[in-house]
Amino acid sequence: TDRKKLHTAPVGQVFRLRPFHVLVATGGGYAGYRKYEDYKLEQLEKRGIEVPVKLASEWEVALYKSVPTRLLSRAWGRLNQVELPTWLRKPVYSLYIWTFGVNMKEAAVEDLHHYRNLSEFFRRKLKPQVRPVCCLHSVISPSDGKILNFGQVKNCEVEQVKGVTYSLESFLGPRISTEEMHFSQAPPGNSFQQQLVTKEGNELYHCVIYLAPGDYHCFHSPTDWTVSHRRHFPGSLMSVNPGVARWIKELFCHNERVVLTGDWKHGFFSLTAVGATNVGSIRIYFDQDLHTNSPSYSKGSYNDFSFISNNKEGIPMRKGEHLGEFNLGSTIVLIFEAPKDFKFNLKAGQKIRFGEALGSL
């Protein structure tokens, strides 16, 4: 009679699962499985074994998109800005350095205690002499990273990795009005690709550079050019590592991205910074109005901003000049017009550093 009564909730109430929890658990588990599959593919590539292309089905893409990567990326961004106690900085940063193979000897400040939070560590600057800018070639790498693909654009399709393509028009969005460009454009009756090529005898080229978490996170101007227009696409924040890029068609069109377009001495030139998981923040130094990974996300929308109407000459950029930064690591896509004798000095899969030549005439 002296025993206390235990009040318990009904079994059905205890084990009640909400749809959101099911989506997060299922999507997160599947994302983990994909990471393991990516690791196996990397091991096969290292052994020189060619990996066949196997694209994700619609339900697999939908399941991956169910993971709240935008919310997680915002949370990760806030966590990165939390100031670490001085005694904790070296152990935390040392673990990151060991995990991702960071070369701190190249950093402008090698002392780990100098970086108050993870965000400052990710955005660390380099010593000027460790990244000399190549003066002999017309186009240099805008960042450190890995070359995923490069070559001519054909049939309005661009390769994100070998054998997996995406639509040029879906990626860049509708054609920008002639008033916002310094040069005349092709008649509207031509294909989207032909409309971007402004000079007879020129071709459209592309290059995709993947920035790993351990890479230098700033990106620079790849050539001398003038930025006329910025287009911001809100979107998903799926991983853009080579394994996922090989698996999801039009991955770069699904993800959030910032497209900078303008012109260089040979015509059309564009640089696109593609966001990814935990990389909700894309910063362009001269564009203070840009705010990426905003909670007010409208699927399928984009925001335009013209630098011609606000600055009559656009934004002139010199080769090697600081342009922007990611918060962790992501992808840079260059799409530009050049004469037919333009040659890339690259191999797919090679590591490249900012300042090294991509190609020249």
Looking at the annotation, which residues are catalytic?
144, 220, 330
Question: Which burial class, exposed, middle or buried, applies to 8 when counting CB atoms under 10 A from its CB (0-12, 13-18, 19+)?
Answer: exposed
C-alpha 280/C-alpha 271 separation (Å) is 18
Match 């673990």 to its residue by tokens: 95
- Number of C-beta neighbours around residue 74 at 10 A: 18
Q: Are 127 and 106 in contact (CB under 8 A)?
A: yes
The three-state secondary structure class of 14 is helix
CB-side neighbour CA atoms (13 Å) of 182? 22
Annotate 263-305 with three-state secondary structure: EECCEEEEEEEECECCECCEEECCCCCCCCCCCCCCCCCCEEE
Which tokens is 206 given? 């592309």
